[in-house]
Every structure is written in structure tokens, then in C-alpha cells.
Amino acid sequence: MFAYDFMVDAFAAAGCVAVVAGTIGYFLVLRSQAFAGHALSHVGFAGATGAVLLGLPPIWGLIALTLLAGIGMGALGERLESRDVAIGMVLSLALGLGLLFLHFYTAYATQVTSLLFGNVLGVDRRTLAILAISAIVALVLLGVMARPLLFASLQPEVAEARGIPLRFVSILFLAVVALAVAECAQIVGVLLVFTLMVGPAAAAQLLTPKLAFGVALAVLLALAEAWCGIALAFYTDWPTSFWIAALSGLGYGLALLPARRAWRGLTARDRRFVADISTLG
């Protein structure tokens, strides 16, 4: 398998994306903004097709428009959580614009599947370099803002009272999410960004409450799903994105089992207490 250069490039690209997706996805799930991340991927589809219409590489349009959308969503601050309908309309409009751009540039219409569902086996060295640089920038930014981001995510009222600028933190975080979404779209496509951004992170949070261990576990799960998906695609000739999505779903399903056993072990009184706390939270 590794005798082919395109397979080596695919594993390298998937590795870069999985590390970023697992790390940033953990905080995305923690902040209950998974749907916003999904919307960014649809906006990226419009950006990629618009860039092609202008004669530019699609990855630049993908990154540029997702960044702008991420900054705009971050500017909404805490109001973003109550605007699922507006976000849903934005992502629907973005998909419509992408299809419109494809209508005007029909020569590219045959490659729409790569944008929608990804094509990790088609990543070249130039795109790999862009992915690596974007991954480094995203992880550095996340590392700089990790402590205030965690504080603002778990106790926003206390964080605001301590002088942490919640709006600025939200803008910067969603800008980082936009970079991660643009990278994931190169591997699994804009329709399956949940596969790497949400699946491993959600599974990790079910398996452990510890932050550092949870982030590390999310990264390991994302790496395992991405690399195993590529290997299975090589030996079965089935789509890579399908295997990655299937492994992500399987990993989350297996992570649910210990959580359900723990729930069944609680007394009726403990279950009512957990339900009351969840409602208040």
C-alpha cells in the first residue's frame, strides 16, 4: 500500500486533518456548537465552487469563505445557540449558491462529488503543504486561547465577570473551527464533516470526563478512523469517505455502551437527580 506515492500523501493529509479535527472538535462538542460547524462546511462548498468559477484553486475559496462565516457566527456570541433555524437557512443558501456556481461552470460539474464527499486519494503535495500549514496555525491559535476558551465554555457568566471577552473568544474559536472544517472537507467532503469533527470528540467525552485525556482520546480516535478508513478503501475499492464515516459511527456507538451501563446502575433517585441537573444546565 505504501509503495504508491498517492497513498503516502493520503495518509499524511489524513493525519494532519485528524489531529486538528480531534482537538478542535472536542471543544466544538463541549460548547454545543456542532451544528454551527456543519453550517460552515456548507458555506465552504459555496466558496470552493465560487473560487473555481473565478479560476482559482478550490481550497482557497473554501478556506476564505469558511473563515469569513466563522468570524460572522462568532460575532453573534452566545446568541448563536438559539439560532439553529437561521443557521439552517444559511447552510441551505450556501448549498444553493454552490450549485448555481456549478451551473455557470459546467466543466467542473463532474468533480462536484469530490467537494461533497471528499477525495483524500487525490490530495497532491501542494494541497498537503497547505493542509499542514493550516493545521499548525489552527493548533497554535487553539493553544493560545485554550484556558479562556475552556473557562468561557464551562462557566460563561463567571468568565465574563472575571473580564474575559466572551465575544472575542467566540469569534477566534469559530475562526479556528473554520480552518478545521476547510481541512476536513478535503478528506471527507463538506457533507461528512461531522464524521471527523464530531464523532471522535463525542465518543471521547462519553468515555472520560478528564479534559487532557479526552482531547488525546479524540485525536487518537480520529487518527484511527481516518487511517483505517483509507486502508479499508485501498483493499476493498469502496469509497474512503464511507469507511471513515462508518468507523466514526461505530466508534460512537461503542462509546455509548459504557455510558448506558453506568446509567442503568444508578438508582431511581440518582436518575431523577441527574435529569434535574441536566434540565437546569
Identify the pLDDT of residue 263. 47
Identify the pLDDT of residue 179. 85
80 pLDDT above the threshold of 80: no
108 pLDDT above the threshold of 60: no
Q: What is the pLDDT of residues 247-257, one digit of tens each?
A: 999 999 899 88
Identify the pLDDT of residue 271. 44
Of 32-46, 79-93, 131-145, the poorest mean pLDDT is in: 79-93
Q: What is the pLDDT of residues 184-231, one digit of tens each?
A: 877 877 767 778 888 999 999 998 888 889 999 999 999 999 999 999
Higher pLDDT, residue 116 or 249: 249
pTM listed for this prediction: 0.81
274 pLDDT above the threshold of 70: no
Over the chain, what HEC string results?
CCCCHHHHHHHHHHHHHHHHHHHHHHHHHHCCCHHHHHHHHHHHHHHHHHHHHCCCCHHHHHHHHHHHHHHHHHHCHHHHHHCHHHHHHHHHHHHHHHHHHHHHCHHHHHHHHHHHHCCHHHCCHHHHHHHHHHHHHHHHHHHHHHHHHHHHHHCHHHHHHCCCCHHHHHHHHHHHHHHHHHHHHHHHCHHHHHHHHCHHHHHHHHHCCCHHHHHHHHHHHHHHHHHHHHHHHHHHCCCHHHHHHHHHHHHHHHHHHHHHHHHHCCCHHHHHHHHHHHHHC
154 pLDDT above the threshold of 50: yes
112, amino acid identity? V
113 pLDDT above the threshold of 70: no
Identify the pLDDT of residue 111. 59
The percentage of residues in the chain with a pLDDT greater than 70, rounded to a whole number, is 81
Confidence bin at 79 (pLDDT 50/70/90): low
What are the chain's domains? 5-197 (1.10.3470.10)
